[in-house]
Structure 1
Amino acid sequence: MRPPDLENLLRELTPHVLGALVRHHGDLDACEDAVQEALLAASVQWPVEGVPDNPKGWLITTASRRRIEGWRSDAARRRREEIAAARQTVDPGPVSTVDDTLTVLLLCCHPSLTLAAQVTLTLRAVGGLTTAEIARALLVPEATVGQRISRAKQRIKAAGGTFPPAADRLEAALHVLYLIFNEGYTASSGPDLQRVELTAEAIRLTRQLRRLRPDDGEVAGLLALMLLTDARRPARTRSDGALVPLVEQDRGQWDAEAIAEGGRILSETLGRHPAGPYQLQAAIAAVHNEAARYDDTDWRQILGLYDVLHAVAPGPMVSLSRIVAVAMVHGPRAGLQQLDRAETDPALASHHRTHAVRAHLLDLAGDRVTARDHYELAARRTLSGPERGYLEARAGR
């Protein structure tokens, strides 16, 4: 097995193994340490000895051993070890076929945590994102992310790590899945524009949530949004991995089945539930997908939807996307005026996408020299290789 394949396999199995350990042993913090040790052992042994027939079972068994060894080395827990010795064995028995990923997701969304902590911990434990990737996704410093993860684990431990109904944690779970999908659809760093394993995992988990909550409009809205957006993935990159903007995409490459399914879910949802932020974003994606050509896009309808979204769930990226719609309806100068006001938000002031949008609007307005400067500035500030290549190419034009 090649190293990239091994890395993907271990990333995919991590939440399954962690969920199994937490169910059997409790204590998320200690179980995650044990899982990390098992992953390290696998990364060393499997390339030499080969991947076992049941890699998930191998990891669970190895992690369980590490967890028990750690327990036994803690003198303060020796009495508890004697009581539990009868049921705590090195061999955890037959490996369950239950997918524990959703269990870990809901555990990380523990009600004792703040929403920010829930999102951060779940991105780490379920999404497999690094501290740096989480920091970029949430627009916060890496040090803040590290502190949130450490404090969240301690708070879950103090609260007993209980599992309330999914409804008690649904808002955080949806937010987490939304961020995981976004990181997969447009990776915040690295040589690839997309991380398909993350978008696929986000869609899979959202389907599971919808089975748990079939009458929740926002769960359905999020699934529709993911499907309608991910449908464009085949046309977003060239054969060399270079980014293809929406205006240049071959819409014949879009996934018609995903568009149909997302549209069907959205149609069933909008008429039955109050429109929340995920349903509104799905509606915007649907309008884009309905246009046979970019020039046929109904920007007035999109702007109207962004106006509602901005009122329901304001945020820096919503503001930035709305400004693009303003420019497409009322002209680039109108968009630039609103961008000047929006840049007072610290989250937007230094973000590479803010400079990219400004460059695009300046280009449309005919100010090519200043547009080039902002394209170059955006290129320097992004950590995504494909985005940097695209922005540098735009500056070169």
Structure 2
Amino acid sequence: MSDDAAKPMSDVVEAVYRSESRQVLATLIRLLGDFDTAEEALHEAFAAAVEQWARDGLPANPRAWLVSTGRFKAIDGLRRRARFDASLSELAKQLETSTDDAAEWDDEHVEDDRLRLIFTCCHPALPPESQVAMTLREVCGLTTEEIARAFLTKPATIAQRIVRAKAKIRDARIPYVVPSERDLPDRLEAVLRVVYLVFNEGYSASSGGSLTRHDLSGEAIRLGRVLIALLPEPEAMGLLAMMLLQDSRCAARTSPTGDLILLEEQDRSLWNREQIAEGVSLVERALSAPRIGPYSIQAAIAAVHAQAPSAAATDWAQIVGLYDLLMQAEPSPVIELNRAVAVAMRDGPSAGLAIIDAVLARGDLANYHLAHSARADLCRRLEKTADARAAYERALSLTQQEPERRFLQRRLSELKD
């Protein structure tokens, strides 16, 4: 077959890879019991697909074909290596007899496999940074280079984290299962935290030349959709709702030159109304649960912002009340800071400044640039120019993100002596 005739099928294989590879990998990990073996089998299966599908046509069930081919390739590879290591021969026999039921490769079992994979990558025995790296690599399919670029880390560092995580899973015999009903709440919290961290880094990058990293926020939203499709828990709905509502403002958050635009100055006609409608619907479902968790409360706050026609028309009293509830559910200095900003909008800048000063006086958030930026803004509104300048300079010394640096420098230049 000529290259021109083969090209359309190669495009089909590429499309199947994009849509199915993570599900196929999850099933192969279950069948073969090892991440590296499963990944090698996945790539061999797709390599075989390029050749065989071009010759024989697309199979009726590409996913099942890939799982079956990957499993066969793995077993065949073990048999070849068994000539040098007799123990592998027995392993190949075990895999052949224990993984020959094609009924276990249907959609229902594959969806279970995806859920198992997410929980395995986010197992509490793994360090948080390894949980994030494993989730992005194994569940989302990002390369080590893409993960490293997203978090401004060397690819070798990410690769090392993934290798160590896989070794930990293997050596500690971490089970490839969905947690029991008793253990599910704690384990689900770890999964949600990882998705939340991935989204936050995408929504507001910690450093670099761009305000956002759409690949990361997009992956987090995709993960959130997978999670509630497989496990429709209220907090999973709340997290997805929060991400959709925050992300709905994406087009309005930066100028054409990449400069930061604050919420109160954004063109709300640019907000994504479809995402807002979906997010609000999810919030309503999450808030109907007997117990309301922190992600659902954050989503409710985002929904109030999303539904307000302008910053001035925002129901700041409701937002402060929701922050009060959030402080009870998950107290933290950052939440206290966010509440202070809402109080300033409801009661005036002096009221908000008093809260921020109390937080900073305790030593909390001393190195958090947004705390000093918020303090600077309130001082500016109160015409406390010297205090505002000092706070802007402190925030500028702490931030590593270029759009935020330009914003702070512009605010400094606008201050009157």
What are the superposed Cα offsets for residues 160-189 of structure 1, whole Å, 9 maximum, x if unpaired?
A: 442124863322111111111111111222
Taking the aligned partners of 1:66 and 1:383, their CA distance within structure 2 comes to 46
For residues 17-96 of structure 1, the aligned pairs below 5 Å read 19=26, 22-28=29-35, 79-81=87-89, 83-84=91-92
Structure 2 residue aligned with 1:355: 372
Match of 1:260 in 2: 277
Match among 282, 287, 310 for residue 270 of structure 1: 287
Which of residues 232, 255, 265 is equivalent to 1:238? 255
- Distance in 2 (CA, whole Å) between partners of 1:78 and 1:342 is 64
Match for residue 206 of structure 1? 224
Is 1:294 paired with 2:311?
yes
**2:392 is equivalent to residue 378 of structure 1:** no
**CA distance, structure 2, for counterparts of residue 321 and residue 71 of structure 1:** 60
SS in 2 for 1:354: helix
Q: Closer, same or farther in 2 for the Cα pair 1:78/1:368, shift >3 Å?
A: farther
Aligned residues of 2:30 and 2:176 also touching (Cα < 8 A): no
For structure 1, which segment, 202-211 or 339-348, has the greater mean C-alpha deviation from structure 2 after superposition? 339-348
SS in 2 for 1:348: coil
Shift of 1:232: 0.9
Query: Would you say the 8 A contact 1:27–1:161 is kept in 2?
Result: no
Measure the CA separation in 2 of the matches of 1:186 and 1:30. Answer: 36
For the pair 1:163 / 2:174, whether they are aligned, the reply is no
For residues 329 and 369 of structure 2, what CA distance do their matches in structure 1 show? Answer: 25
CA contact (8 A) 1:343 1:349 kept: yes
User: What displacement does 1:267 show?
Assistant: 1.9
330, 335, 338: which one pairs with 1:321? 338
What letter is aligned with 1:335?
G
Given residue 178 of structure 1, which amino acid in structure 2 is its aligned partner? Y
TM (norm. structure 1) is: 0.73
Q: Distance in 1 between matches of 2:413 and 2:114?
A: 45
Q: CA deviation at 1:389?
A: 1.8
| Contact in 2 for aligned 1:120/1:134 (Cα 8 Å) | no
Cα distance in structure 1, aligned partners of 2:356 and 2:410:
23
The answer to whether the Cα contact below 8 Å between 2:240 and 2:279 also exists between their aligned partners in 1 is yes
**Once the two structures are superposed, what CA deviation does each residue of 1:334-368 show, in whole Å capped at 9, x if it has no partner?**
32222233236666211211221121121122122
Per the alignment, residue 7 of structure 1 pairs with none
> 1:340: which partner in 2?
357
* Structure 2 residues not aligned, in runs of 5+: 1-16, 48-57, 97-104
Q: Residue in 2 aligned with 1:366? A: 383
* Distance in 2 (alpha carbons) for counterparts of 1:297 and 1:338: 21
Matched residue type, 1:358: R
Tell me: CA distance 1:221–1:160, structure 2 relative to 1, closer, same or farther (3 Å): closer
Residue 176 of structure 2 aligns to which amino acid in structure 1? T
Does the residue aligned with 1:314 lie in a helix, a strand or coil? Answer: coil
TM-score, length of structure 2 as denominator length: 0.70
Q: d(CA) in 2 for partners of 1:77 and 1:22?
A: 22
**Matched AA of 1:308:** L
Higher-Rg structure is 2
Structure 1 residue 110, shift from structure 2 partner: 2.7
8 Å CA contact retained: 1:266, 1:283: yes
Q: What's the % identity of the aligned pairs?
A: 42
Counterpart residue number, 2:121: 108
1:122 counterpart residue number:
135
Distance of 1:31 and 1:188 partners within structure 2: 34
CA contact (8 A) 1:108 1:118 kept: yes
Give the corresponding residue for 1:193: 211
SS at match of 2:331: coil
- Pairwise CA RMSD: 4.5
1:328 Cα shift? 1.9
For 1:307, the aligned partner's letter is D
Give the SS at the match of 1:343. Answer: helix
Could you tell me how far 1:131 is from its partner in structure 2? Answer: 6.5
Question: Cα gap change, 1:86/1:116 in structure 2, threshold over 3 Å: closer, same or farther?
Answer: closer
